[in-house]
Amino acid sequence: MKKIASILLLSCLFNINQLIAQDNTVVMKIGNEKITMSEFKNTYLKNNDLSKATEKDLLEYIELYVNFRLRYAEALEIRLDTIEQLQTELKGYRTQAAKNYLTDKEVNDKLLNEVLERMEWDVRASHIMKEVSLEAKAEDTLKAYKAIIDIRNRVLKGEPFAEIATTESDDYSARDRISYEGEILQKGNKGDLGYFTVFDMIYPFESAAYSMKVGEVSMPIRTEFGYHIIYLKDKKPALGRCAASQILITYPENATAQDSAKTRETAQEAYKNLQEGMNFLVAVDKYCTDPGIKSRRGALPLFSVSRFDGNFIEKLYDLEINDITKPFETDYGIHIVKLTDRIPVSSSADIKAVIKNRILKDTRSEKSKESFVEKLKKEYKFKENKTKRNFLALEEFYTIDSTLLHGRWEAESVSSWQKPLFTIANKTYTQQDFARYLEENQNETRMPIDELVRVNYSQFVQRSIIAYEDSQLEGKYPEFANLMKEYKEGVLLYELSEQRVWKKAETDSVGLSKFYDEIKDNYLYDNRVKANIYTMKDLATFNKFRKMLSKGRTPEQAMERLNKKTQNINKENVLLSKGQNKNFDTIFCWQQWSVMFDQSKKENEVSLDYKQKHVFNSNASLEQLTFIQPLVILPPSPKPLEEVKGTIISLYQNYLEEEWIKELRSNNEVWVDKQAIISLIKNN
C-alpha cells in the first residue's frame, strides 16, 4: 500500500490526459517532448485552483513539472518499461483496476440492496435434500427431482416434515449419529437448520428461504448439492450479533423420570434465586453442570444467529440487555441465558464496503457477470457459427475420446479443426481456440462428454467476451486510460528514484561519508564531561562513602575500603551531556566550564582540587544511591556518522536528487513560455 501511495503521489500531480478544453499552443519544449497549453492547464487544474493561483504559484509549479517530465523521459530512455518485474507489477495494477469496469454496476447495486434488505431479517427453516451432482447424467437428475417432488407431496398431505427429513433426506445431519456400540454421539436436527441470515447459506437456498412466507413449503430448489424442499418455520427482525452468559444443567446419562424431574427442579431453583438477586456468576458456579461452560463462567462471546441451536436462539429475540430467560430445553439440556450485549445490524458505508467484497466472492456475483456478458454480446454483435438446427462446429467436440474425462486430453489431437465458432466484433474464435481452452481447464469428471463440452463452451464464451472487453478498456474509458498512464508513470518514476536516489543514498557508503565530511560541523556534540559514577548498594554504604569523602579520601580510596569484604560499590566511566542528568546539571556549572576550557584542546582535564571537592550526589531523593565525579571537559566536536546516519541519509537523498535534476537540465534543452502560462491567471 505504501508503494502504491508513493506511485500515485508521484504521478497524479502531473498527469496530462484529462483535457478539459483544447488549446494546442506549445508552451513548453522539454527535450523532444512538446507540451501544449491544454496539457499544462489541465495538469495544473487536477490538484490546484487556478482562480486562487498567483504568479509565484505558477512559476513554482512549472519547475516541478519540468523536473517530472525530465525524469520520466529518462525512465523511458533507459527502457525501464521493458523490465519484466515492472511489467508484471503494472499488469497486477491493471487487473485490479479493470475489475470495476468488467461487471454490471446496475446488477451489483441490486445485489447490494438485496443483501441490505435481507440483513434486516433472520429466518428459520427446515429442509429435505435429495443429493445429485451438477455433473450427473440427465436420468439421474430426473430421478432425484421426481423423488423430491414425491416427498413434497407427502408433506403437503400432512406427514410431519421432521419425520420425513429423518428418514428420507440425504443431508445426514438430519439423523442421529450413532457409534458402533449403538451410543448416540450426536442427535440429528430432523432437517431443522435453525436461524440464519444473509451469506449463511448458498445463494439459491438463501433466496428461496427469503422469498417464502412462514408455514410455506417450497418447490424443489436446485443447488450444487442436489434438490431441496424448504419449510419456512419462522421469520423475525434481525437479532444482530449477541454476547450472553448461560447456565446449562444437563440430564444425567440414562436418566430416569425421577432424575429428569430433579434436573428440572434444580433449573427452577436456579431461576428463582436469580430472580431474587443472586449474582449470575455465582449461579453459574453453583448450578452449571457442563464443565466447558462452567470453566468459562458461562460466557458466550459475540455470536450470530447461525451459531447455535434454533431453540436456543429463539429465546433471545425478546430480551433486553441483562434480561434473563426462564429455563428452557434443547437437546443439550436445560438452559438459563442472560443477554449481556447486542450489536444490531448496520448499513453504514464501512459495512457496505465489506458487503460488496463478500458479494464478489459469493456465487451471487454470477448474476452480475451473466448480465454483463449479455449486454456485451449485444454491443459487440456476438454471433455463433450455427443454424437453427445444428451447431456442427461445436458438435464435433462431442466425439472427443474419454481422455478428456480424466484430464489427459491434448488439443494437438484435433489440430485440423479450424472452423469458426463465434465472432465478437471483428474477432473470430475458432475450434482451436476452444480446444486449447479445454486442454488448459480439464479435470477428472464423471460428466458425459457432450454435457462437459457444452458447459466448457459456455464458460469459454463468457471468458472470451470479458477478455475482449478488457482489451478495449483504454479506448472505451478515458478515465481508465488516464489511471493506467498514472500507474505507469508512477511505477517507472518510483523505480528510477529508487535507483538514482533512495537506494544509492543507503548503499553508497563512500559517497555518504564524503557528503557528511562536508557538513559535519553542523552536527556537533555539546560540551560533555567524562565522569565516574559510583553506585552504592544501600543507604548505609552511601552515608559511609560520603563521610570518607568529607575526611579527604578520594572516591577511589573510599570505594576500595568499602569493597574490601563485599561488593558494595560499582564504578562506571561515562560521558555526560547537558540535560542527561538533571541533578548533575543543577550543581555542575556548564556555562563556566565552557568558557574556561581551551577550545584548541580535544580534552580539558578538571583540576585535581575540583575533582576532590566536587563529587555530586546525582539524585537528591536517594532513589538511586550514586555519586558523580567529573574528570575531563570535552569541547564541542562532530558526532560520528553512525549516530546521525538517518538524518544524513535523508539530506544525502535531497542532495542526490538536486544533482540529478541539474544533470538532466544540463543534458536536455528546456524552453518554457512563462508569460503565456502566467496569462492563465489573467484570462481565468
In a domain, 676, yes or no: yes
Asked if residue 619 has pLDDT above 60, the reply is no
Asked if 81 and 75 count as a contact pair (C-beta separation under 8 A), the reply is: yes
In a domain, 92, yes or no: no
The angle formed by the CA atoms of residues 58, 59 and 65, to the nearest 5 degrees, is: 85
C-alpha cell at 574: 561515562
Q: What is the pLDDT of residue 3?
A: 58
227-261 pLDDT, tens digit per residue, is 999 999 999 999 999 999 999 999 998 889 999 99
Asked if 549 and 537 count as a contact pair (C-beta separation under 8 A), the reply is: no
Characterize 127-156 residue by residue with b for buried, 16 or more Cβ atoms within 10 angstroms of its Cβ, and e for exposed: bbbbebeeebeeeebeebbebbeebbebbe
Q: How confident is the model at residue 533 (pLDDT cuts 50, 70, 90)?
A: confident
Q: What is the pLDDT of residue 552?
A: 84
Here the CATH number for the domain that contains residue 252 is 3.10.50.40
Share of the chain above pLDDT 70, in %: 90
Q: What is the sign, positive or negative, of the torsion defined by CA atoms of 296, 297, 302, 306? A: positive
Q: Domain boundary residue among 237, 255, 272?
A: 237
Asked if residue 624 has pLDDT above 70, the reply is no
Q: Say whether both 245 and 233 belong to one domain.
A: no
Average pLDDT over residues 19-24: 55
Q: Say whether both 129 and 233 belong to one domain.
A: yes
Q: Say whether both 52 and 143 belong to one domain.
A: no
Q: Mean pLDDT over all residues of the chain?
A: 89
* Least-confidence region, from 112-116, 526-530, 590-594, 621-625: 590-594
Asked if residue 665 has pLDDT above 80, the reply is yes
Q: Say whether both 125 and 224 belong to one domain.
A: yes
Q: What is the pLDDT of residue 38?
A: 87
Which residues, listed in sequence order, are joined to residue 261 by a DSSP beta bridge? none
Q: Say whether both 511 and 656 belong to one domain.
A: yes
Q: Say whether both 486 and 424 belong to one domain.
A: no
Q: Say whether both 623 and 556 belong to one domain.
A: yes
Q: How confident is the model at residue 594 (pLDDT cuts 50, 70, 90)?
A: very low
Share of the chain above pLDDT 90, in %: 71
Q: What is the pLDDT of residue 631?
A: 81
Q: Is 102 exposed, middle or buried (0-12, 13-18, 19+ CB in 10 A)?
A: middle
Q: How confident is the model at residue 18 (pLDDT cuts 50, 70, 90)?
A: very low
In a domain, 96, yes or no: no
Q: Domain boundary residue among 207, 237, 267?
A: 237
Q: How far apart are CA 140 and CA 136, in angstroms?
A: 6
Q: How confident is the model at residue 6 (pLDDT cuts 50, 70, 90)?
A: low
Asked if residue 595 has pLDDT above 60, the reply is no
Domain that holds residue 395: 383-471
Per the structure, the count of domains in the chain is 5
Which residues, listed in sequence order, are joined to residue 394 by a DSSP beta bridge? none
Q: Say whether both 494 and 452 belong to one domain.
A: no
Q: Say whether both 307 and 288 belong to one domain.
A: yes
In a domain, 109, yes or no: no
Asked if residue 157 has pLDDT above 60, the reply is yes
Q: How confident is the model at residue 136 (pLDDT cuts 50, 70, 90)?
A: confident
Q: How confident is the model at residue 588 (pLDDT cuts 50, 70, 90)?
A: low
Average pLDDT over residues 12-16: 47
Q: Say whether both 653 and 613 belong to one domain.
A: no
The residue that leads in pLDDT, 14 or 235, is: 235
Q: Say whether both 232 and 157 belong to one domain.
A: yes
Asked if residue 125 has pLDDT above 60, the reply is yes
* Least-confidence region, from 176-185, 206-215, 650-659: 176-185
442-493 pLDDT, tens digit per residue, is 999 988 899 999 999 999 999 999 999 999 999 999 999 989 998 999 999 9
Q: Domain boundary residue among 222, 237, 252?
A: 237
The residue that leads in pLDDT, 14 or 31, is: 31
Q: What is the pLDDT of residue 7?
A: 52
Q: What is the pLDDT of residue 319?
A: 96
Q: Say whether both 284 and 328 belong to one domain.
A: yes
In a domain, 363, yes or no: no
Q: What is the pLDDT of residue 659?
A: 95
| pTM of the entire predicted model | 0.71
The residue among 463, 194, 207, 208 whose CA lies nearest residue 309 is: 194
Asked if residue 591 has pLDDT above 60, the reply is no
The residue that leads in pLDDT, 42 or 175, is: 175
Asked if residue 593 has pLDDT above 60, the reply is no
* Least-confidence region, from 142-146, 208-212, 337-341, 358-362: 358-362
Q: Is 576 helix (H, G, I), strand (E, B) or coil?
A: strand
In a domain, 147, yes or no: yes
Q: What does the H/E/C string look like for 232-275?
A: EEEEEECCCEEEEEEEEECCCCCCCHHHHHHHHHHHHHHHHHHH
Asked if residue 639 has pLDDT above 80, the reply is yes
Asked if residue 547 has pLDDT above 50, the reply is yes
Which strand (E) or helix (H) includes residue 128?
Answer: strand 121-131
> How many beta carbons lie within 10 A of that of residue 259, not counting itself?
13
In a domain, 419, yes or no: yes
Asked if residue 404 has pLDDT above 60, the reply is yes
The residue that leads in pLDDT, 596 or 626, is: 626
Average pLDDT over residues 320-345: 95
Asked if residue 116 has pLDDT above 70, the reply is yes
Q: What is the sign, positive or negative, of the torsion defined by CA atoms of 625, 632, 594, 524? A: negative
In a domain, 675, yes or no: yes
